[in-house]
Amino acid sequence: MRSSQVPPVAVLVDAYTTGNHLPPAFAKLGVDVVHVQSTPELMTSMRLPDLSAYRAVIPYGTPAETAERLAEFAPFCVVAGQEPGVPLADELSERLGLPGNGTALSAARRDKYEMIEALRRAGVRCADQIKSGSTEDLVAWAEERGRYPVVVKPLSSAATDGVAICRDAEEVRKAADAVLGTVNIFGEHNDEVLIQSFLDGEEYMVDFVSYDGERYACCIWQYHKKLKGTHRIYDRDSITPPGTSPATEIIAYMHEALDALGIQYGPTHAEVIVTPEGPVLVEVGARLSGGLLPDFHDICLGANQADVTALAFTRPRDFLDRYANRTYRKLTEATWILLATDRDGVVESIDQDVVAEIEALESVHTFVPKLAPGKRVRPTVDLYTATAAVHLHNRSAEALERDAARIQQLKDRIYRLRDDMGCAA
């Protein structure tokens, strides 16, 4: 006889992009989800939520109105699905009396200037910085400081949007002017710009899940980037072996940083640079990693951030017993490649023979072209202008490198572009 019991409910705020992995993660545990939208219109700059996966969809409203609507579902948690949803998730969990990070430090979890200042107040190693709505103030800070390069970036964007490494005053001026007065990938106006000291060292992606201050280190991937003008563009990532240096130092540092930011619950995705003085936070988002691919991470690391997040909120005791104060494992050689290009044009078609060759490579787990016919290919300057993503894993490091090299040889043959006469090239 089928039970008439209504499943418990988790609330997801702005479950764009990899936030789409949360509904199936909760569903595995017998939990329904309700979606909350923090903006009047859906943000089309990101992959939209699959709203068919939700028991209910709550449109944009004030936090008080939204909390009142949610109360009828008696939710047991509120989780941010993507960056813009972090402040609202903080406020809703607080209003509903649910486990969460609270609102006292919400601004520091979105505004990158406030983020680093929160670390400074807590005595956690961090970059030097100022923010300003004046290009000349930013240039003056860099000149008075007298140490180049410096980093110029928007206050609240992601995916290296608008980030520039500047070697002199003119590059600072150009980078700041390129950001001020524009709109970031989340539709927010860039009225001020952040400038920071350059952190010299290798960069790492560091993902955690926390519950009541107890944490699981989901993964540490080393970024391999290429400098292109004033932009460092993603090339590929590789797993940092756990239990070794610098993984142990990064994990210890991130506990301090997350505590300083008041992050005691939920998933986090951070970038950290290991400088000669030790790890230093670039930034952290209180949401899932943008690079999360659950089945790939299961194969490579033994677990994935979406499933662990759902478990932490749904069955805290199980999370504490199985994951708290533990780290990922390295189960195989793996890499995630973001394909870059110098080409510029409109996609006429995708060469399916090239796609088939890439997908047939031994190490390829997933190949995702990011552009469809009719879309514009632009020279790559950030994550959003990469042309495709490829996840690879293999027991053999040599085989993995062989397949990665072949993909680089094929990358500019994936798309046929129209020439100036409208013909495919």
Rounded Cα–Cα distance for residues 242 and 248 (Å): 7
- For residue 263, which amino acid is it? I
Write down the pTM of the prediction. 0.89
pLDDT of residue 191: 83
Q: Class of the 128-197 domain?
A: alpha beta
Nearest to 88 by CA among 72, 106, 70, 71: 106
Q: Check: CB of residue 70 under 8 Å from CB of residue 88.
A: no
Alpha helices (H) along 325-374 = 352-359
Q: For residue 322, which phi and psi values (nearest 5 degrees)? A: -95, -30
pLDDT of residue 156: 62
pLDDT of residue 420: 42
Q: Class of the 9-95 domain?
A: alpha beta
**Domain ranges in the chain?**
9-95, 128-197, 199-332, 334-417
Architecture of the domain defined by 334-417:
Alpha-Beta Complex (3.90)
Q: Check: CB of residue 148 under 8 Å from CB of residue 45.
A: no
Rounded Cα–Cα distance for residues 386 and 82 (Å): 20
pLDDT of residue 132: 87
CA quadruple 293, 298, 303, 306: dihedral sign: positive
What residue ranges of the chain have pLDDT lower than 50? 1-3, 420-421
Q: Which helix (H) or strand (E) holds 112?
A: helix 112-121
pLDDT of residue 189: 75
pLDDT (tens digit per residue) in 154-208:
876 555 567 888 999 999 999 998 888 777 666 667 788 889 999 999 999 999 9
Domain 199-332: which topology? D-amino Acid Aminotransferase; Chain A, domain 1 (3.30.470)
